[in-house]
Amino acid sequence: MGAQWKAKHKDLAANAKGRLFGKLSKDIMIAARHGADPASNSRLRLVVEQARKVSMPKDTLERAIKKGAGLTGEAVHFEHVVYEGFAPHRVPVMVECLTDNVNRAASDMRVLFRKGQLGTSGSVSWDFDHLGMIEAEPAAAGADPEMAAIEAGAQDLEPGDDEGVTLFLTAPADLDLVGRALPAQGFTVLSSRLGYKPKNPVSPSSLNAEQLEEVESFLAALDANEDVQNVFAGLGD
């Protein structure tokens, strides 16, 4: 399912858009800490572009920028917490949370993982590579992803979730460097973040339809939680 699990079912779309706006608002607020002007804040510019592509309302976007930049007088404080464990049928999962209440997040994770198994720190992360992940698309005809990866210093590349998009994989420390080098190689960066790539993904063909549905439902429940920012599952394409 690629580097990051994403809901595939159409019936999730309506609720998913609201959740997506909430996640993007957090990303915008965190990026805006380094300046409210996207023109001089590359991280903010990327997230704003993502928000516009999914039609986030302009007032929601602008409110998140002002709040993150401290222009509204409201204190914004999110803690980054990672949980690891197993979905049903031993599918490994890494869950990234951005929360303003760590106790609430921990309690929610304990409840959500009752249908799987919540692990301790390091119990699952060893089976994932922690990488920089850059989604980019050709800015002009003839742009070569493999050559761009070499010239920009990416470790590897693979097809992205959307047609025409390439996922460039980097060492965590090289994420910003590669992201800034790709435009010179003919690619427009769409998103840039750190994430987790499974080393030994479970093949969906090893699960029957009912088991696969149980895994999908478990991942969807995690993704729906207000504190969860990203879900990375060790499930193959």
Highest mean pLDDT among 11-15, 18-22, 61-65: 61-65
Domain region containing 63: 10-68
Task: Give the helix ranges, DSSP H, for 120-205.
Answer: 145-152, 175-181
For residues 215 and 121, membership in a common domain is answered with yes
Distance between CA atoms of residues 17 and 221, nearest Å: 15
Two tokens at 65? 């920028």
Kindly state the percentage of the chain with pLDDT values over 90.
64
For residues 112 and 135, membership in a common domain is answered with no
Q: What is the pTM of this model?
A: 0.84
214 CB neighbour count, 10 Å cutoff: 18
Q: Is residue 74 part of a domain?
A: no
Q: Is residue 223 part of a domain?
A: yes
Q: Is residue 73 part of a domain?
A: no
Question: Residue 12's pLDDT is what?
Answer: 45
Q: pLDDT tens, 186-228?
A: 999 988 889 999 999 999 999 999 999 999 999 999 999 999 9
For residues 104 and 88, membership in a common domain is answered with yes
Concatenate the DSSP letters of all residues of 64-121 into one string. HHHHHTT-SS-----EEEEEEEEEGGGEEEEEEEEES-HHHHHHHHHHHGGGSEEPPT
Using the predicted structure, report yes or no on whether residue 56 has a pLDDT greater than 80.
Answer: yes
How large is the average pLDDT for residues 164-174? 93
Using the predicted structure, report yes or no on whether residue 10 has a pLDDT greater than 50.
Answer: no
For residues 36 and 152, membership in a common domain is answered with no
pLDDT class of 14 with cuts at 50, 70, 90: low
Three-class DSSP category at 33: helix
For residues 140 and 48, membership in a common domain is answered with no
